[in-house]
Amino acid sequence: MISVRHVCKAFKQFRAVWDLSFNVPAADVYGFVGPNGAGKTTTMRMMATLLDPDYGDIEIDGISVLDEPETVRRMIGYMPDYIGVYEGVEIQEYLDFFARAYRIYPARRKKLVDEIMEITELTGVRDKDVSVLSKGMRQRLCLAKTLVHDPKVLILDEPAAGLDPRARIELRLLLKELQKLGKTIIISSHILTELADICNSVGFIERGVMLQSGKIDDILAARTGPANQRLRIRVLGDVQAAMVILRSLTGVTGVEFERGLIQFTFAQNEDGNPGLLRELLERNVAVVSLEQESRNLEDIFLKVTQGVIA
């Protein structure tokens, strides 16, 4: 649905984005991850037709941002990282204003604004002045604004920034709902844990270059191989002794101790775990917990960026 092809963007001599290519398939929720200054906002602004690439092109559902920016604008909802709202305007007026701007007929408009306030849980505060909204409500209002013209594609630049944990959970649920409605969503963040639960695809950008992009499951499988698991155990007693015993077991490699846990790769699928546990217990290793490193984006990220970040 979103196809970024060899995009370059420089500001004077500075290369903000360099030969960037990636795809976001339809109905995916794609996490666009990278540290401050990596080029996320720059890329998203180019997707939203607010900035032209110096080289390369971006297509939204097959339509080029360079050739047909007007068409693209009708297909996308863009939520910028910094949002200006007007004073002396109520939430419902604010949304109605954007519905007018998108030339939605008066007969349809009221119902639409009501529906959008419902889905973004703003109905209860519809008469509130937008200038007095809390950060969380303001973020929801901005998301609501991007939905007015029912776009296929949502481009959300750090929508969870500054939200409290509860508001983050609510945002996550809202994004899941939108995904169910068939929207394709790209969402940027530098907080990985925030994305792990909602995204099924992810791209890691660093200094304007894409390090890895694809389905989270595929990236994990490529890393460990299909019949390989990365496991973590916590043991009581002598950790060093436990690590020596682990290393002696068949199929166990890459044993490390980190954050109070012994981590290792086990060359069997999870059917092999009971046998592994039995062997450890028989050798008097007091295992108190065993977990799989599953959709842990932080772990993937560290692996992908290993040696890249100085």
Ligand X SMILES: Nc1ncnc2c1ncn2[C@@H]1O[C@H](COP(=O)(O)OP(=O)(O)OP(=O)(O)O)[C@@H](O)[C@H]1O
Closest by CA to 145, choosing from 65, 58, 84, is 84
The binder of ligand X chosen from 39, 77, 80, 159 (CB under 6 A):
39
C-alpha to C-alpha distance for 301 and 32, rounded to whole angstroms: 12
The DSSP secondary-structure symbol of 163 reads -
Taking CB under 6 A as the binding criterion, the range among 36-44, 69-77, 98-106, 234-242 that sits at the site for ligand X is 36-44
Toward ligand X, which CB reaches closer, 16 or 246?
16
Toward Mg ion, which CB reaches closer, 17 or 220?
17
CB 200, CB 173: distance < 8 Å: no
CB 45, CB 25: distance < 8 Å: no
C-alpha to C-alpha distance for 308 and 167, rounded to whole angstroms: 34
CB of 194 to ligand X, least distance (A): 13
Taking CB under 6 A as the binding criterion, the range among 39-47, 91-99, 139-147, 268-276 that sits at the site for ligand X is 39-47
Distant-in-sequence, close-in-space partners of 143: CB < 8 Å, separation ≥ 6: 79, 120, 156, 159, 171, 174
Which SS3 state, helix, strand or coil, does residue 182 take? coil
Task: Kindly report the backbone phi and psi dihedral angles of residue 54, in degrees, each rounded to the nearest multiple of 5, phi listed first.
Answer: -75, -30
CB of 157 to Mg ion, least distance (A): 6
Task: Kindly report the backbone phi and psi dihedral angles of residue 45, in degrees, each rounded to the nearest multiple of 5, phi listed first.
Answer: -65, -35
In the window 17-46, what residues touch Mg ion (CB under 5 A)?
A: 40-41
Each residue 174-213 as x (binds ligand X by CB under 6 A) or -, in order, gives: ----------------x-----------------------
The binder of ligand X chosen from 13, 36, 240, 306 (CB under 6 A):
36
Q: Which residues bind Mg ion (CB under 5 A)?
A: 40-41, 81
Q: Which residues bind ligand X (CB under 6 A)?
A: 11, 14, 16, 34, 36-42, 81, 190
